[in-house]
Structure 1
Amino acid sequence: MTTLSLPPISSLPTADEETIKSVLDMLFEPSPEIHALAVPAIQQKRRIPANPGLTADLPVTLHSSTTTVPDDIPFTSYAVLIQHVGLLLHQLATPPFSPSSREKLHSILGSHPRLGAKKVDSAQSRAEQAQLNTATDGGVDERLAALNREYEARFPGLRYVVFVNGRGRDVIMKDMRRRIDRGDIRAEEREGIQVSASSSGFAFAIIYRRDDIYASYADERRLKAMVDIALDRAGKLGSTS
């Protein structure tokens, strides 16, 4: 059986387009819209000198939650790349909305398989949902499927997305119920790219340095859902750098 792994981040900008798409598929889910959004951003970095010198040594503080990595700073780790893609997703979910940006966002959010689905193509998603598929109560499958249907009827074009992170079906279904009852499609678009962060919390300022990325959210304890899933996958695929 082939073991999936990520190439060194430094080699990604100069890789062929199919390799870049394959990496994005492993980290997120196969999505033409993710490809269109992220491939040019990755290829942009191939024009950065191998030793960018003082430019990369100096910290750059960005005070907006929607500011992406500056063009003259390389992706120094997969964490930086993933956060950058997450911020591009955040821009799609930020007013003013255009019909095309909403359509792209919904397509991306819909690329993740339904929770509890019997057929899941992505090996990463199958592993992430493994705990959800061990329920012994035969009625749980039906309740989860019913909640998926109710959610998608409540929010046309969207699919419920959450970072499972070892949580059981009862916890996940309570969250689904809460979000359905809330009935706020704008919040759903944001939550689709958000997840719970650590108890230390984080502030909408992102600092880029040569070797890593620091994020701090003052009043929010959420990071991006698809981003957190991708960060978890990067670690399991053997590269966070």
Structure 2
Amino acid sequence: MAAYKLPPIRALSSLPTAELATILDHLFEPSVPLHTLSVDLLRDQAFSSYSDLVASIGVQLAYLAESSSTSDTKWLESILGAHPRLGEKKIDSTQSQAEQAQLALHADTGQDKLSELNALYERTFPGLRYVVFVNGRDRSTILEDMQARIDRDDIGFERTDAIKAMCDIAADRARKLAA
């Protein structure tokens, strides 16, 4: 099977909804709430690049993070929660599999610590999943970042950091998937 390639950015307005959802799935993670939030944006707004598209979605996500509405918060959490846990054995997204490959852990090399931190993170920030742009950083650096974010214990900063990481990941994927 051939690797997925993003269509030309100027073609978005003419694509069917299903293809726009597929683009979002490849840039971010499969997420029906993200489709609902952003498919119309892809269809209705002209973008000069995929980086601009990702930045616009980042604005949408930031709006949800800044909203005082509980439903907006839940919506954001469902989008951020589409990312797989670090070190998870079953990862559906081809992009996430590749990105996490360097963090592939064996039981004797830190899987227990990662599982423990994932659980602690999700207890500290109910509804969220730790999202980070791995970008070549080693496992110990990622674990330190995760612990620091848990220790900071600030849900507002955490949502902001998760959105930034999600958009950094999407921009990196866009560069790799450009046609």
TM-score clears 0.5: yes
- Choose between structure 1 and 2: higher strand proportion: 1
Match for 1:187: what amino acid?
F
Stretches (4+) displaced over 2 A: none
- Corresponding residue for 1:78? 50
Superposition deviation, residue 2 in structure 1: 2.5
Pairing partner for 2:133 from 149, 163, 174 = 163
Number of residue-to-residue matches in the alignment: 179
Match for 2:168: what amino acid?
D
CA distance in 1, matches of 2:106, 2:68: 44
- Corresponding residue for 1:18? 18
Pairing partner for 1:233 from 165, 173, 177 = 173
SS of corresponding position for 1:37: helix
Contact kept in structure 1, 2:7 and 2:178, CA below 8 Å: no
- Corresponding residue for 1:172? 142
Q: Indicate yes or no: 2:12 matched with 1:42.
A: no
- Choose between structure 1 and 2: higher helix proportion: 2
CA distance in 1, matches of 2:83, 2:107: 25
Superposition deviation, residue 9 in structure 1: 0.8
- Corresponding residue for 1:143? 113
CA distance in 2, matches of 1:103, 1:190: 15
Q: How do 1:50-61 residues align onto structure 2 when only pairs under 5 Å count?
A: none
- Corresponding residue for 2:92? 121
**TM-score, structure 1 normalization:** 0.72
Contact kept in structure 1, 2:50 and 2:174, CA below 8 Å: yes
CA distance in 1, matches of 2:70, 2:127: 12
Identity percentage of aligned residues? 49
CA deviations 1:133-162 (Å, max 9, x no partner) are: 1x4671400100110001001111010000
SS of corresponding position for 1:192: helix
CA distance in 2, matches of 1:182, 1:8: 41
Consecutive unaligned residues in structure 1, runs of 5 or more:
46-73, 195-224
Contact kept in structure 1, 2:10 and 2:48, CA below 8 Å: yes
SS of corresponding position for 2:144: helix
CA distance in 2, matches of 1:30, 1:137: 29
Radius of gyration: which is bigger? 1
Consecutive unaligned residues in structure 2, runs of 5 or more:
none
CA distance in 1, matches of 2:112, 2:134: 19
Pairing partner for 1:92 from 61, 64, 67 = 64
CA distance in 1, matches of 2:91, 2:100: 9
RMSD: 1.3
CA deviations 1:151-181 (Å, max 9, x no partner) are: 0011110100000001111000101111111
SS of corresponding position for 2:110: helix
Aligned in 2, Cα 1:99/1:136: closer, same or farther, shift over 3 Å?
Answer: closer
Match for 2:48: what amino acid?
T
CA distance in 2, matches of 1:99, 1:136: 39
Aligned in 2, Cα 1:118/1:137: closer, same or farther, shift over 3 Å?
Answer: closer
Superposition deviation, residue 13 in structure 1: 1.2
